[in-house]
Structure 1
Amino acid sequence: MSAHVSATPQPVPGDAARWITPLEIGVLGAIWGASFLFMRVAAPEFGPAALVELRLALGAIVLLPFLWRARAAFPMRLWPKLALIGAINSAVPFLLFAWAAERAPAGVGAICNALTVLFTALVGAMFFSERIGWARSATLAVGFAGVVVLASGRIEGAAIGPAVLAGAAAALLYGIGINLVRRHLGGLPATAVAPVTLGCAALLVLPFAIAQWPAQPVSLQAWGSVALLGVLCTGAAFVMYYRLIARIGAGRASTVTYLVPVFGVTWAWWLLGETPTLRMAIAGALILGSVALSQRLPK
């Protein structure tokens, strides 16, 4: 999950707003949390490159009608910039999360994903002259302390530090990508930007996917996980997220960030038997607590 864009909220008439918005935020959190479960299932059989190629391609195909409708807004001179943002905001972080999914429980990646909010603020302060203040800086430090706690843990005797670092690096790239999208693609329709960047990212990953395509037959379970990852967690979820932004604004829609790790850990525990550890709980509390505080403190 990395789509953060600005939009003017559009109110929902009647009593529908009282239950539609919380329901959609909950469903979206469950879907994005499940993406780490699907990566955990599919990555060992597909490998990172093939898995990510299919995810990107399927997500772009689902969103293609939105691009076709707004195609006039995308002149050729803009495509190199879109390709760069696609690499930063989709191709490389997806590869890092898929690599981590081969080496650590699904909940670890889901917890690392929450760092996106913190890295977005940090990158904005370091490179785009955004002010964060001492109080918000302290909350960022707490969140990054959670990364240290998580990275120092072991699952069934195996160190998960490399997977945690990969997940944190992916979140950092999300933070960079979000800042780039805000500043360079702000005037474009978000639902059309997504398929362009996903499609460009798919083209960038394609040579690696071909070179590393699995030599052994892939199970139906892994194929099903990849299909759900691309169609549901990437394509359909982006549409749902942009609908939320249009209705309630980017700030309120971003509260889904808090639900993704919860659902990610829950799905992995329920369906894969990956019991969360005390260290994961402490790290998750530190990271999510810092995210919550950083969004509430004045800039």
Structure 2
Amino acid sequence: GRRLPKLGPVWIHFAVMGLVQNALPFTLFNWGEQYIDSALAAISNGATPLFTILFAHIFVSDDRITPGKMVGVLVGFGGLIVLIAPSLTGGMEATSWGLIAVVVASISYGVAMVYSRLNLRGMPPLVAPTAQLTVATLYMIPLSLLIERPYTLPMPSLAAAGSLFVLAAFGTALAFVIYYRLIEQANASFVSMVTYVIPVFGVFLGVVVLNETLTWNAYVGCALILAGVMVVNGVFQSLPWLQPRRKDAPVQL
């Protein structure tokens, strides 16, 4: 098996990643979902690739936005506006702040993806997430003791403790292992499909399992965000009827 690297400059990168890919977005999602439906959080999370491509254009010299990708980014951000705007028209209420929190979390994920590409290339796929989660834990334990003071709270119920275990074991640890294994064994196009799965399944499970009721702007926003991400990933360019027609070679007489 592999070991974590010795203390050195690489741990600075792990510390940054532990903050922007784990501690900060996890905290924002957990706080924000107290005030918004889980489906809305999943839809907002689906916009992560749009933020990623913007940051990549700024910081990665060989990853510029093409006109086609810019169209996808604009469509996707249009979806975010449709999703968020109605909650802002009545003033900044708890729902508004919850939506803003999950959008900021998605921005943080976009920063993390670009930072990882620039500074952690070639790192064994299971070493980086292990180190990141370790650092994120070191961030969160003292903060939770200081801010939430869990030692003053009653013991969580068995259902709550079980939910935390499932979220940590399957939603975080196992998900990281599967994701980085896929990066090793599958092509990028296949791995990017997770972008489409999160909002679709998030909406489905929120409505079916949690009986959440979504308004029209949630469905329209979800559709626009998914369409924007698909344009950015070049999905529509691969459709046969969108391929440029080849001109027949002239007949030689």
TM-score range, shorter chain: 0.7 to 0.9
Q: Which of the numbers 175, 190, 193 marks the counterpart of 2:110?
A: 175
TM-score where L is the length of structure 2: 0.84
Q: Distance in 2 between matches of 1:269 and 1:96?
A: 22
Instruction: Give, in angstroms, the shift of residue 210 of structure 1.
Output: 1.3
The aligned residue for residue 66 of structure 2 is 133
| Structure 1 alignment gaps of length 5 or more | 1-68
Q: Distance in 1 between matches of 2:176 and 2:12?
A: 23
Q: Distance in 2 between matches of 1:195 and 1:92?
A: 17
| Structure 2 alignment gaps of length 5 or more | 238-253
Please show how residues 48-197 of structure 1 align to structure 2 within 5 Å.
69-71=1-3, 74-77=5-8, 78-129=10-61, 130-154=63-87, 160-197=95-132
Asked if residue 257 in structure 1 is aligned to residue 190 in structure 2, the reply is no
Read off the aligned partner of 2:79 and give its amino acid letter: G
TM-score where L is the length of structure 1: 0.71
Q: Distance in 2 between matches of 1:288 and 1:164?
A: 18
The aligned residue for residue 46 of structure 1 is none
2:20/2:112 contact within 8 Å kept: yes
Larger radius of gyration: 2
Read off the aligned partner of 1:197 and give its amino acid letter: Q
Asked if residue 292 in structure 1 is aligned to residue 230 in structure 2, the reply is yes
Alpha-carbon RMSD? 1.9
Q: Distance in 1 between matches of 2:194 and 2:13?
A: 28
Q: Distance in 2 between matches of 1:199 and 1:275?
A: 37
Read off the aligned partner of 1:263 and give its amino acid letter: F
What is the aligned residue count?
Answer: 227
Instruction: Give, in angstroms, the shift of residue 244 of structure 1.
Output: 2.2
Q: Secondary structure at the match of 2:126?
A: helix
Q: Distance in 2 between matches of 1:96 and 1:79?
A: 24
Instruction: Give, in angstroms, the shift of residue 159 of structure 1.
Output: 6.3
The aligned residue for residue 272 of structure 1 is 210
1:147/1:164 contact within 8 Å kept: no
- Structure 1's consecutive aligned runs of 4 or more residues displaced over 3 angstroms after TM superposition are none
Instruction: Give, in angstroms, the shift of residue 92 of structure 1.
Output: 0.4
Q: Distance in 2 between matches of 1:265 and 1:213?
A: 33
1:115/1:143 contact within 8 Å kept: yes
1:153/1:161 contact within 8 Å kept: no
Q: What do residues 115-151 of structure 1 show as CA deviations (whole Å, max 9, x unaligned)?
A: 1111110000122232112221121111111111111
Q: Distance in 2 between matches of 1:168 and 1:284?
A: 13
The aligned residue for residue 44 of structure 1 is none
Q: Secondary structure at the match of 2:233?
A: helix
The aligned residue for residue 20 of structure 1 is none
The aligned residue for residue 184 of structure 2 is 246
Read off the aligned partner of 2:51 and give its amino acid letter: F
2:68/2:231 contact within 8 Å kept: no
The aligned residue for residue 199 of structure 1 is 134
Q: Distance in 2 between matches of 1:250 and 1:192?
A: 20
